[in-house]
Structure 1
Amino acid sequence: MRKLFLSMVFGVLASGIVCAQESEEKLYYNDFHKWQVRLRGILVTPDESANIGLIGGDAAISKSFMPELDFTYYFTKNIAAELILGTTNHDVKAINTAVGNLDLGDVWLLPPTLTFQYHWNVEENVRPYVGAGFNYTIFYNAANGPIADNVDYENSFSPAMQFGIDFDISKRWFINIDAKYLFLSTDVEVDATSALGAVVNAEVDINPFIAGIGIGFKL
């Protein structure tokens, strides 16, 4: 999934740079707004894997559907920065371990993400973009589940890639389709002293693919 997403982003970016010069006289460029806001519904699909000490096994992290809000500022008609805000909840399990499958409860993720984008026109009202940036994920309100006395997730920085399209439906309103991939990992400490007599440490790659659709407004 990661290789497919990256190849798609770089392929679209290459074609977009060629198209941008041909699009400068289109309607969008005559109706330029520096600020935009979008509200999306997003589906977060983890591409997880784990290295679990002592008991081995892997991680299983549930999908999550949540709203997402973002603000975009245009430095030029093509170059912009986007701040993405949202929070998601995920069930977490350790699977195929030496002691079976373990329910580790759930945890909330708050991953504010900043991307720098390149936008261009392919039609008067169709505006694709690609972006790259970084993310800082905060793990909070972890529920430990029946096995662990405590589960601690380490907050972490990660790179982010992005691809999307805006479809204008009026001079200010537009429909947005967006996809992101975060190269996200965390160190996890599971205190299972009561149930297993041990504290288990794990390195977990979450690597979520985030697909969203929503509506935007040019301020």
Structure 2
Amino acid sequence: MKKALVAGLTLIAAVSTQAFAYEQGDMVVRVGAAMVHPAGDGALKGALDVGNNTQLGLDGTYMLNNQLGIGVLAATPFKHDITLNGAKIGSTKHLPPTVTLQYHFNTNTQFHPYVGAGINYTQFFTERSSLGDLELKHSFGPAVEAGFDYELSKNWGANLGIWYADIDTKAKLNGAKLDTVKIDPVVYMIGASYKF
């Protein structure tokens, strides 16, 4: 009887581990609210500020094996108000796709934490300013992330992710060069995940 009980518990544990572990070839898609919080100081010695914005975020991971994955962060375009000494002087939109190599910790539970590092590309567009013709150049920079999936069923789960990206853009106003604008945002995303 004891042997049968031990064998049964071992089988349940093995099945549970397989049910919740990521494996090579798995694809995890996450969707939710993504907020960009610029943390850097801009040109003009910090007098220029870029506001927060929240959009629909889309994040996906392709598992290369049971611990390494390739992550991609995308979103609908973010729009930021630009202020100078507290007064709004313009706005801009941008897309910040980010690609990372992720390391997923083996926990053998429903809780799947991961960390990652990679590169961010940010394309600015629809720049507007009451001071004149504003232009922000695109940006490449390193990015890091941390997050976790919490599995609610075999396929569905909840997700929380945080990214930091080094976004520096060269600014021009009426053709004249301003200082480099350091946006350096922290991105927060909370949403649902689905494993294929």
Same structural fold, with TM-score higher than 0.5 when normalized by the shorter chain: yes
Asked if residue 172 in structure 1 is aligned to residue 155 in structure 2, the reply is: yes
Per-residue deviation, residues 168-216 of structure 1 (Å, max 9, x unmatched)? 0000011000000011111101129xxxxxx451211101011110001
Work out the CA distance in 2 between the residues paired with 1:104 and 1:202. Answer: 16
Match of 2:136 in 1: 153
Q: Contact 1:154–1:187 at 8 Å: present in 2 too? A: yes
Q: Contact 2:80–2:91 at 8 Å: present in 1 too? A: yes
Match of 2:17 in 1: 26
Work out the CA distance in 2 between the residues paired with 1:106 and 1:31. Answer: 43
TM-score, reference length from structure 2:
0.84
Match of 1:119 in 2: 104
Match of 1:93 in 2: 83
In the alignment, structure 2 segments of 5+ residues that lack a partner are 1-13
Asked if residue 78 in structure 1 is aligned to residue 67 in structure 2, the reply is: yes
Work out the CA distance in 2 between the residues paired with 1:209 and 1:172. Answer: 28
- Displacement, 1:160? 0.4
SS in 2 for 1:26: helix
Give the number of equivalent residue pairs. 180
Task: Between 204-213 and 102-111, report the one with greater CA deviation.
Answer: 102-111
- Displacement, 1:36? 1.3
2:37 to 31, 45, 60: 45
SS in 1 for 2:21: helix
Q: Contact 2:68–2:103 at 8 Å: present in 1 too? A: yes
SS in 2 for 1:176: strand
Q: Contact 2:67–2:106 at 8 Å: present in 1 too? A: no
Work out the CA distance in 2 between the residues paired with 1:105 and 1:125. Answer: 45
Match of 1:11 in 2: none
Q: Contact 1:165–1:178 at 8 Å: present in 2 too? A: yes
SS in 2 for 1:170: coil
Q: Do the aligned partners of residues 46 and 109 (structure 1) sit closer, same or farther apart at CA in structure 2, a change above 3 Å counting?
A: same
Asked if residue 215 in structure 1 is aligned to residue 192 in structure 2, the reply is: yes
Match of 1:8 in 2: none
SS in 1 for 2:174: strand
SS in 2 for 1:76: coil
Q: Contact 1:48–1:59 at 8 Å: present in 2 too? A: no
Q: Which protein is bigger by CA-based radius of gyration? A: 2
Match of 2:6 in 1: none
Asked if residue 109 in structure 1 is aligned to residue 94 in structure 2, the reply is: yes
User: Partner amino acid for 2:97?
Assistant: P
Q: Contact 1:33–1:218 at 8 Å: present in 2 too? A: no
Q: Do the aligned partners of residues 29 and 58 (structure 1) sit closer, same or farther apart at CA in structure 2, a change above 3 Å counting?
A: same
Match of 1:186 in 2: 169
Work out the CA distance in 2 between the residues paired with 1:110 and 1:126. Answer: 30
Work out the CA distance in 1 between the residues paired with 2:63 and 2:23. Answer: 13
Q: Contact 1:31–1:171 at 8 Å: present in 2 too? A: no
> Greater helix share, 1 or 2?
1
Work out the CA distance in 1 between the residues paired with 2:73 and 2:48. Answer: 27
- Displacement, 1:125? 0.3
Work out the CA distance in 2 between the residues paired with 1:205 and 1:30. Answer: 37
User: Partner amino acid for 2:98?
Assistant: T
